[in-house]
Structure 1
Amino acid sequence: MADNNPKDPSAKATDRLNQISSHITPPPASANTPRRRRRKSDKDALPADYSDILGQISTIQKMGATPDPNNRGYVRQKQAGKLWVRERVEQLLDPGTFVEVGSVAGTVKWRKIAEMREEPVEYTPSNNVQGFGKLGGRTILFTADDFSIRAGHADGAIHAKTKKMEQLAISLKIPMIKLVDGSSGGGSVTTIRKEGWSYIPAVDTFHQVFEQLNQGIPNLGAVVGPAIGLGAARVVSCHFSVMAGDIGSLFNAGPNVVAGATFEEGLSLTDLGGPAMHCTNGTIDNLAADEAECFEQLRTVLSYLPNHGLDVPPKVPVDDPIDRVCPDMRTIIPRKKERMYDARKIITSIVDEGSFFEIGSLWGTTAICGLARLGGQPVGIISLNCEVNAGAIDALGSQKLARHLKLLDMFNIPLVQFIDIPGYAIGTVAERSATMRHGITLAGAYYATTMPVFSIVTRRCFGVAGGVMVGCREPRMCVAWPSGDWGSLPLAGGIEVGHAFELKELQKKGGPEAREKRYKELEEEYKRLMNPVRTANAFGVEEIIDPADTRRVLATWVGHVYEVLLPQRVLERASGKLQPRFT
């Protein structure tokens, strides 16, 4: 008869556990049973920690980082007085911050040393060193051409590496620095022979380049050798560019190609596209004495810029009081209106001490522009240069200022401008160089940009040019100095135009003496009526201030801009309401 008494629950659980254990744990082997051994394969003989692969990488990296003093390209680089590419990287970046990307990209010759074992014996790196680093404490991306390898022409992985860096700059929103020496990946006829076929040229990296420019991701370039073709295009398509005066040059094609196309023979690199050519026509923004100064200028410009257009420019600590009085400004403008003065002294006296960095000093010299700080906060600077063409804006001056306006707009930098302008340049040279065409392009830049603008009329403000500069924002922020002098036309010439019939009739009737007498009467009357206080009486100018107080007035405005206006501007850019463009 079956036992109907239920089994104790704890006993059932113990039986079940023993059953499971018997399935998991194998029975103990007897002493006489031989142990089965796994056969070692060739793969198992390789080190478990992959030290062989890591060793190969380390060896290749060491080869790439060690210059060969017998290499023809390296010898040529040194004989030209140029730094080797990795020496440049060391001098550019903050010490110990270089992290290379694509460190073993290149051509390797291997030697077999055992089954499934080989070691690198020769290595030709890709002719462009790229990666991450820090510049003035800021994380950046950079590309640096190696002219010692095929003069920087397309080779190995240079195209893929460069495109990757351009893409990373956009996705990570990190500034990009470009050291150009050679063609920077441009084509060479030897590439056709190597590949066995010719090709239709492509510059697909420029899609990323222009996206960076218009997103406000800083692109800064330096010409540290001959920048040829694509290399020239890469450095010119930057927000800021600088050329080393001792070794730099830039051209679409070299002297040999030019000789065959235009029959200009015997040209040197400097003759064709040296600093005297391209630092004076606006192709390159600034000139530096050598590579070290190039690197310093790159650091300086970056210090004024945010990492991208959705941020405000960085503020730095400053010891210069914002309410500092500048008494020299009361006498810097001569009472005799025909006399000149140093416009740069006004700028350097009012901004934070030592903070003014001029851009484009050798071209478009009727205008002065650059970056500075007020209370530690970056501002853009525009002034007219009365020492060149009396400060009348010519075609190159218009181009320079238009480019600067777009730079400031792209990086959310407020503009401070010192106005002393007689108008657009006049005369046959001005007409031949299309001054009005470029002047209207400048006007378009003033009205298309939206960064805050504050104007100080230090002396003259005449004509269309003056009206555009002062009236580009609504409501305008504008004050004047007691030396202010303004109107549709300057008196010199303006009286002749406005009273031409009267003066002509007087000369007919009373001779030159009568005409001269009436002219002086009119001149005296107009000078009395053009007293700037009369303009302020009619609220034609918001305020006439003591020039010594200009720094305080500007610093107060800049402080408000950074506290209130720029955060709002950044939000509008993020939402798509504002879409500034550099190109």
Structure 2
Amino acid sequence: MAKDNDSTPSTKYGKGQAAQRLNQVSSHITPDKQVSLKTKTKSTGSRLPADHSDVLGQLSTLRKIAATPNLESRGYIRQKQAGKLWVRERIEQLLDPGSFQEIGSVSGTVTWKKTSPMREKPVSFTPSNNVQGAGTLRGRKVLLTADDFSIRSGHADGSTAGKTVYVEKLAFALKIPVVKLVDGSSGGGSVTTIRKEGWSYLPYVTPFSHAIKQLNQGIPNLGAVVGPAIGLGAARVVSCHFSVMAADIGALFNAGPKVVEGATFEEGLGFQDLGGPVVHCTNGTIDNLAANEAECFEQLRTILSYLPNSGSDAPPVIHSDDPESREDLTLRSIIPRRQARMYNPRTIITSVVDRDSWFEIGALWGRSAIGGLARLAGRPVGIISLNCEVNGGALDAAGSQKLTRLLKMCDVMNIPILQFIDVPGYAIGTVAERTATMRWGVELAKTYFTTTTPIFNVITRRAFGVAGGVMIGSRDPVMQVAWPSGQWGSLPLDGGIEVGHRHELREAEKKGKKEERYNELEEEYMRLMNPVRTANAFGVEEIIDPKDTRQVCCEWVTHVYDVLMKDRLADRACGKIHPSFA
């Protein structure tokens, strides 16, 4: 028995069997070491590695190819010649360093070569031309989708079906902001797809239904045009809450120059002629203009800092070193005593809000109105102002469209709005009528009365007509103050006196005293329109010293965030209110 107990593995199993068994045990303990070739039998030579190193190696190879630009590729060369960053360079510059986690990292077209009965290796790989994943922007987690124009110009036949749809669904499920860098058709088709598949497909736009849900849920959708945005790509970036175009390389159109030439016979069009920044950053298709890609990325970072992850959250509050009680004596004299004179309304905005927090949206279009985001006491607010330097401040069709869009965005993002009111009414005249000013003015009115985000008014000068009534009266009770320079009524005096005293002035004209009588009436109305008289009748709640405007506004917004915001979020959670952007 003792002899049996002292038996060695070699005597019990035989030398070959013992060595093989020992090797098997060793491979489990140290899986990185391959089984010795000497101990392999014919049956084990075709076995796959226990540690799946073959699959891991394939993944590593494909990922390396995808992350390495092909310097000899015609598409890559064209990308660089156009002065554009490669897609992965864009991701590195936009996101926080090292934060990108790709989704679908090896999606694409692979050619495989069989190396043994159970093994194969990739010999060529064309990655999907739509790179997607998650990362952080200044610490905020976002989902990112970016086109690789160097592969099939961003067309669908260079992408992988389902990637775009998946990320749109993921953003809605996780309530994470989405950033879209558009440089191509973003999954739009090419006629070559018909030849490749052998049949022609119906052009469903599956991602849109999920994107619309995000827009209405207040999940930030931010888009940048960093190349030619064509067809579906153009639609995807335009449908965002905020969009920006790089001036040096951006363009956007329903169809490219060659398609346009065939359909409309407009020849010789370039990308910039057809849909460059001069076209789309001045007509409202794209919100903002940036000098280049780097500035596009900075605008995306900036606007995200004002927005919540979704409408179920409050906007992010930051610490502000700007005193809430800060006074500005220059505001007392910024409004000219002579009503016909103009001033720079942006001076008022930047004086009242936290220093360096003003971010304007749509500065190049709808210029009769001014809109954007800022902070008061570190709390995000939407800013609305009229622009007396354009059309005398009369609200035109484009201005109404711009304010409608901003109101809806603030509503779905739970951002309260501060308004500086100086509006003589809707624009009038033949141009105003031909551009459907009243139609868009009524759309703006409907938006004011269907949104529910809190609004605070500072009436700096004029509030006349339907436009004035809509802007100041959409909340009950109104929250507002007026400046000593305030004037209001159904019509401005210019023109109003002519209409209201037509017969009297006609009789005075017969006597050669029309101008004299007009001046008398004007002086009388100016005296009666003293804002103090309105305050005497409680027609306006309070008139404040303009220097105190910041303090008053900070007190209001602090109350909104500390008290009203909780109720608003609860109302959204239980379905009592349903903000809508789309």
Q: Please confirm whether the aligned pair reaches a TM-score higher than 0.5, indicating the same fold.
A: yes
Residue by residue, what CA displacement relative to the aligned partner does 1:72-129 show, whole Å, maximum 9, x if unpaired? 0000000000000000000010001010000000111223333322222211000011
Alignment of 1:45-124 (within 5 A): 45-124=47-126
Q: What is the 5 A alignment of 1:402-481?
A: 402-481=404-483
1:497-516 matches, within 5 Å, as: 497-508=499-510, 510-511=511-512, 514-516=513-515
Partner Cα separation in structure 1 for residue 517 and residue 291 of structure 2:
57
The aligned counterpart of 2:569 is 570
Structure 1 residues 451 and 263, CA gap change in structure 2 (3 angstroms) = same
Q: Which residue of 2 aligns with 1:333?
A: 335
Query: What's the CA shift string for 1:420-460, capped at 9, x where partnerless?
Result: 00000000100111101110000000001000000000001
1:271 and 1:59 map into 2 onto residues whose CA distance is: 42
Query: Is the deviation greater in 38-47 or in 540-549?
Result: 38-47
Tell me, yes or no, if the aligned pair for 2:151 and 2:158 is still in contact at 8 Å.
no
Q: What is residue 143 of structure 1 aligned with on the other side?
A: 145
Aligned residue runs from structure 1 range 49-448, under 5 A:
49-155=51-157, 157-448=159-450
Cα distance in 2 for residues equivalent to 1:402 and 1:192: 41
1:548 aligned partner: 547
Q: Rate the CA distance shift 1:502–1:98 in 2: closer, same or farther, 3 A.
A: same
For 1:349 and 1:322, locate their aligned partners in 2 and report how far apart those are by CA, in whole Å.
Answer: 12
Match of 2:27 in 1: none
Give the structure 1 partner of residue 531 of structure 2: 532
Quote the Cα distance in structure 2 between the aligned partners of 1:275 and 1:580: 31
Per-residue CA distance 1:36-56 (angstroms, 9 max, x = gap): 999874587322111111011
TM-superposition CA deviations, 1:450-492 (whole Å, max 9, x none): 0000000000110010011000100000100001011111111
Cα distance in 1 for partners of 2:506, 2:116 equals 105
Please, what TM-score do these two structures have when normalized by structure 2?
0.93
Q: Is the Cα–Cα contact under 8 Å of residues 221 and 238 in structure 1 kept in the other structure?
A: yes
TM-superposed CA distance for 1:64, in Å, is 0.6
CA distance in 1, matches of 2:250, 2:543: 47
Question: For residues 317-373 of structure 1, what are the alpha-carbon distances to aligned partners after superposition, in whole Å with 9 as ceiling and x for unaligned?
Answer: 111011111111111111111111010010001100000000000000000000000
Q: For 2:542, what is the secondary structure of its paired residue?
A: coil
Separation of aligned partners in 2, 1:555 and 1:214 = 28
C-alpha change, 1:31 and 1:64, in structure 2 (3 Å) is: closer
Letter in 2 for 1:523: E
Alpha-carbon separation, structure 2, partners of 1:32 and 1:380? 84
Query: Counterparts of 1:286 and 1:45 in 2: how far apart (Å)?
Result: 59
The alpha-carbon distance between structure 1 residues 157 and 276, as it changes in their structure 2 partners (threshold 3 A), is closer
Secondary structure class of the residue paired with 1:300: helix
Residue 32 to residue 502, structure 1, CA distance change in 2 (3 Å): closer
Q: Against the structure 1 CA distance between its residues 33 and 456, is the aligned structure 2 distance closer, same or farther, given a 3 Å change threshold?
A: closer
Task: Determine the structure 2 residue equivalent to 1:18.
Answer: none
Contact 1:105 1:156 in 2 (8 A): no
Aligned to 1:580: 579
**Range 106-115 or range 168-177, more displaced:** 106-115
Distance 1:373 1:543 in 2: 24
Verify the 8 A CA contact 2:385 2:422 in the aligned structure 1.
yes
Letter in 1 for 2:133: G
Cα distance in structure 2, aligned partners of 1:450 and 1:85: 40
| Structure 2 residue aligned with 1:14 | none
- What runs of 5+ residues in structure 2 fail to find an aligned partner? 1-7, 22-40
Deviation per CA, 1:514-548, whole angstroms, max 9, x where unpaired? 22221111111111000011011111111000000
Mapped partners of 1:108, 1:141: distance in 2: 26
Q: How much does 1:32 deviate?
A: 8.0
The Cα offsets for residues 388-425 of structure 1, whole Å up to 9 and x where unpaired, read as 00000000000000011000001000000000000000
- Superimposed CA distance per residue, residues 127-148 of structure 1 (whole angstroms, 9 cap, x where no aligned partner): 0110000011100001000000
Which ranges of structure 1 fall in alignment gaps of 5 or more residues? 1-27
1:561, distance to aligned residue in structure 2 (A)? 0.1
Q: How far apart, in 1, do the equivalents of 2:546 and 2:306 lie?
A: 26
Pair 501,265 (structure 1): closer, same or farther in 2 beyond 3 Å: same
Partner SS, residue 156 of structure 2: coil
How big is the shift at 1:506?
Answer: 2.2
Contact 1:304 1:314 (C-alpha < 8 Å) held by counterparts: yes
The letter for the 2-side match of 1:555 is C
Deviations 1:262-320 (A, max 9, x none): 11100010000000100001000000000000000000010000000000000011110
Residue 380 of structure 2 aligns to a residue whose secondary structure is strand
- Identical counterparts, % of pairs: 69
Q: Secondary structure at the match of 1:155?
A: helix
Asked whether the equivalents of residues 182 and 225 of structure 2 are also in contact (C-alpha less than 8 Å), the reply is: yes
Residues in 1 aligned to 2:517 and 2:340: alpha-carbon distance in whole angstroms: 22
CA apart distance, 1:204:
1.1
Residue 45 of structure 1 aligns to a residue in which SS?
coil
Q: Which moved more, 1:212-221 or 1:103-112?
A: 103-112
Residue identity in the other structure for 1:525: E
C-alpha contact 1:249 1:275 (8 A) present in aligned 2 = yes
Change (3 A) 1:29 1:111: closer
SS of the counterpart of 2:161? Answer: helix
Q: Deviations over 1:211-266 (max 9, x none)?
A: 11011100000000000000001001100000000000000001111111111100
Could you tell me how far 1:156 is from its partner in structure 2?
A: 5.4
Pick closer, same or farther for the CA change 1:383–1:50 going to 2, 3 Å: same
Does the C-alpha gap of structure 1 residues 31 and 270 become closer, same or farther in structure 2, counting only changes over 3 Å?
closer
**What amino acid sits opposite 1:407 in the alignment?**
M
Does the Cα contact within 8 Å between 2:134 and 2:143 map onto a contact in 1? Answer: yes
Cα distance in 1, alignment partners of residues 220 and 214 from structure 2: 7
Q: Name the amino acid aligned to 2:555.
A: T
Q: Distance in 2 between matches of 1:96 and 1:331?
A: 51
- Aligned residue pairs, count: 553
Distance in 1 between residues matched to 2:417 and 2:573, nearest whole Å: 21
